[in-house]
Amino acid sequence: MRISLLVAALLAASSARAQSFPTADPVILRMYRIGMDSSQTPTLAHVLFDSLGPRLQGTPNIKAAQDWLVKLYRSWGIEAREEQYGTWRGWRRGASHIDLVGPRVRTLQGQMVGYSPGTGARDVVREPIILPRFKDSTEFVKWLPQARGRLVMISAALPTCRPQDDWAANATPESKARMDTLMVSTQREWASVRVTAANPGDGASAGVRGSGYSSALGGGELGLRLEQGGAAGIIASRPKLSWTMGGGRTPAQAVAAGNQGGFGGFGGGALNTGWGAMEVFETYNLTTPAIALDCEDYGLVYRLTEAGDRPKLRLNLDAQLLGEQPVFNVLAQLKGGRQPDEYVMLSAHFDSWDGASGATDNGTGTLTMLEAMRILKQVYPNPKRTILVGHWSGEEEGEVGSKAFTEDHPEVLSGLQALFNQDNGTGRIRNIGGGGLLHSPEHINAWLGKLPMEWKARINFAGPGRPAGGGSDDFPFGCLGLPAFGLGAAPWDYGTVTWHTERDTFDKVVFDDLKYNATLTAMLAYLASEDPARIPLDRVDLVTQAATERAAQQRQLDSLRAVDSVAAANLQRQFSGGGRRGGQGTSWPACVKAARKTDPRLK
């Protein structure tokens, strides 16, 4: 371990190329030297990701990590505390052992999903059954007795676990077209459709296979109904394989997609990503386990079951449901001297899903803010405005911790000068949002103008932009019309490999980018604190802006279609999905109250 950490430290501590500073500001210069030449991020990452591990809401793991965080801040001379805002269901994860024991023996690649009941840490052998296609929910209820005592497979068995890029590069056009049709139709057949007024809940559109129930993120209401019907548990699979008709990219298209980016690190990535990666979320089952298998092993068990080979799975799952537990945010601050009732905030969620270590979601955001505070304490210990960092919990459950903070601290909201939020993976910050505020460019451009010139050249700031539309912790501030600025990163296969998967581990961290992010954030916090004026809260006209954006996107699509129709189709899908957090809506996003106790997401 010492050798591995030494290598990471050397990577993080290697001197950067000479930079051109447009200002002789000694604070900026010293921040650069400390942040880039003596970064603490490798050591901090080891403790947080390797020793402490994942930080699922309501678990002993996140509480231990929060205690460590407060203790660390105080050791640096920074005031820090844990602040309770409610309760959430508690759970302890132990070991997961999942084996195929008939008709042959194989240890399967899988684990319990979050909050799953266990087997009492003892071996349990069960036979799987595939959820059939139902014509309506009545037929599903009649079928339920057949599931008694069996593990119900509630996901699609994909006909290939190869990424679509691999097929685009190697298959004949005819073979590729057949596989596109098969993959798209299979994924549609097993879609977890939410039953709503617009989707009344009968027939093929009624949820998973026509049952009328949603499997949500890892079982949902379907898992609970199967449990009530006597099933022994559920088996799901959420591989990182997204197929579309005619999709797949050449190397040049992959580079173009990466350059387009998505504000949250979702727009791009290398070719052929997603091999073996699977998402691991949560269940609300109370007595029976919910397990996730990777694409390959889920397909194996499915085919054996479908062929009538009657496979047997042996589960040994150690887990404990702990009931409602107190939940906390961690807050740390450097008190302002001249204007202590005005605030510059650093923001990153501390919680994670627990299929891996939560390294890039959002451990790297956490370390960006943590290291930025270390730099600020050394270089700028007596700020003009109070610099406050929020390490939020419950983001994965719907920005619960940050929403609660905005409800509990009106004094911070009234004095908020700027908030910088980072929640998009390990990549180098290359986009800054303007929060939808008309006058934010006057301030942000002034701050960027004092950064090293090479850094400013790499950052895309396109003006006022839009308020955050949900999905991260800038939303509870942005919906109020406050200056909340998202820091968007280079993708590094965030959306296609590490986001919410069992691959989100220490080795995925790019320390050169991480130390840059922390240093940049410290500089931005300093410059925002010293800004002589507050940012006015005048909002952009979203109706006019949406029309302008659509016209610009259409011009971009028309230009791209002339040279690359596949890349244009991929870009069209990105635009249709909103691309950047905030989407293309024409009305300001509405705030949502914080859930102060467990709020089940069953659909």
362-406 per-position pLDDT tens digit: 999 999 999 999 999 999 999 999 999 999 999 999 999 999 999
List helix spans (H) across 123-250: 137-143, 164-170, 173-189, 220-228
Q: What confidence tens digit (pLDDT) does each residue in 79-92 have?
A: 999 999 999 999 99
Closest CA to 76 of 33, 36, 40, 31: 40
The SS3 assignment for 590 reads coil
In this structure, the strands spanning 290-293 and 312-334 are: unpaired
In 335-455, where do the E strands start and end?
A: 339-349, 385-392, 416-421, 429-432
In this structure, the strands spanning 233-236 and 151-153 are: parallel
Residue 32: is its pLDDT beyond 90? yes
List helix spans (H) across 467-507: 475-478
Confidence of residue 348 (pLDDT cuts 50, 70, 90): very high
Closest CA to 423 of 522, 489, 511, 333: 489
Confidence of residue 22 (pLDDT cuts 50, 70, 90): very high
- What predicted TM-score, i.e. pTM, was given to this entire model? 0.92
Burial of 166 (0-12, 13-18, 19+ CB in 10 A): middle
Domain 91-323 matching CATH 3.50.30.30: the answer reads: yes
Residue-level pLDDT at 372: 99
Listed by start position, the domains of the chain span 2-11+19-90+326-540, 91-323
State the Cα–Cα distance between residues 579 and 550, nearest whole angstrom.
Answer: 12
Residue-level pLDDT at 270: 73
Who wins on pLDDT, 100 or 561? Answer: 100
Q: Which of 6-10, 95-99, 574-578 is predicted with the least confidence, judged by mean pLDDT?
A: 6-10
Residues 160-171 have a mean pLDDT of: 93
State the Cα–Cα distance between residues 401 and 362, nearest whole angstrom.
Answer: 14
With tokens 């386990």, the residue in question is 289
Q: Both tokens of residue 573?
A: 């899908």
State the Cα–Cα distance between residues 209 and 222, nearest whole angstrom.
Answer: 11
Across the strands, what pairs with 324?
89
Task: Please check whether residue 348 is in contact with residue 368, taking contact to mean a CB–CB distance below 8 angstroms.
Answer: yes
Residue 263: is its pLDDT beyond 70? no
Residue 345: which H helix or E strand, with range?
Answer: strand 339-349
* Residue 398: how many other CB atoms lie within 10 Å: 17
Residue-level pLDDT at 563: 78
Percent above pLDDT 70 for the chain: 89
Residue-level pLDDT at 193: 67
State the Cα–Cα distance between residues 126 and 574, nearest whole angstrom.
Answer: 42
Residue-level pLDDT at 269: 62
Residue 10: is its pLDDT beyond 50? no
Residues 179-199 have a mean pLDDT of: 79
Closest CA to 312 of 150, 156, 153: 150
The SS3 assignment for 361 reads helix
Burial of 109 (0-12, 13-18, 19+ CB in 10 A): middle
Closest CA to 373 of 393, 347, 351: 347
Residue 580: is its pLDDT beyond 70? no
Residue 8: is its pLDDT beyond 60? no
Quick one: fold of 2-11+19-90+326-540? Aminopeptidase (3.40.630)
Residue-level pLDDT at 579: 43
Q: Both tokens of residue 378?
A: 């050394």
Query: What is residue 147's DSSP assignment?
Result: G
Q: How far is CA 40 from CA 76, 429, 461, in A?
A: 12, 19, 28
Closest CA to 259 of 250, 268, 251: 268
Confidence of residue 13 (pLDDT cuts 50, 70, 90): very low
Residues 273-280 have a mean pLDDT of: 89
Q: Which of 343-347, 457-461, 558-562 is predicted with the least confidence, judged by mean pLDDT?
A: 558-562
Residues 18-36 have a mean pLDDT of: 94
Residue-level pLDDT at 4: 54
State the Cα–Cα distance between residues 85 and 57, nearest whole angstrom.
Answer: 13
Task: Please check whether residue 522 is in contact with residue 372, taking contact to mean a CB–CB distance below 8 angstroms.
Answer: yes
State the Cα–Cα distance between residues 13 and 411, nearest whole angstrom.
Answer: 39
Who wins on pLDDT, 249 or 189? Answer: 189
Task: Please check whether residue 504 is in contact with residue 498, taking contact to mean a CB–CB distance below 8 angstroms.
Answer: yes
Task: Please check whether residue 240 is in contact with residue 277, taking contact to mean a CB–CB distance below 8 angstroms.
Answer: yes
Mean of per-residue pLDDT scores for the chain: 91
Q: How far is CA 603 from CA 195, 208, 220, 223, in A?
A: 8, 11, 6, 11
State the Cα–Cα distance between residues 428 and 454, nearest whole angstrom.
Answer: 13
Enumerate residues 6+ apart whose C-beta is below 8 A from 408: 83, 85
Residue 322: is its pLDDT beyond 60? yes
Q: What confidence tens digit (pLDDT) does each residue in 485-535 have?
A: 999 999 999 999 999 999 999 999 999 999 999 999 999 999 999 999 999
Q: Residue 176: what residue type? A: K
The SS3 assignment for 355 reads coil
Residues 40-48 have a mean pLDDT of: 98
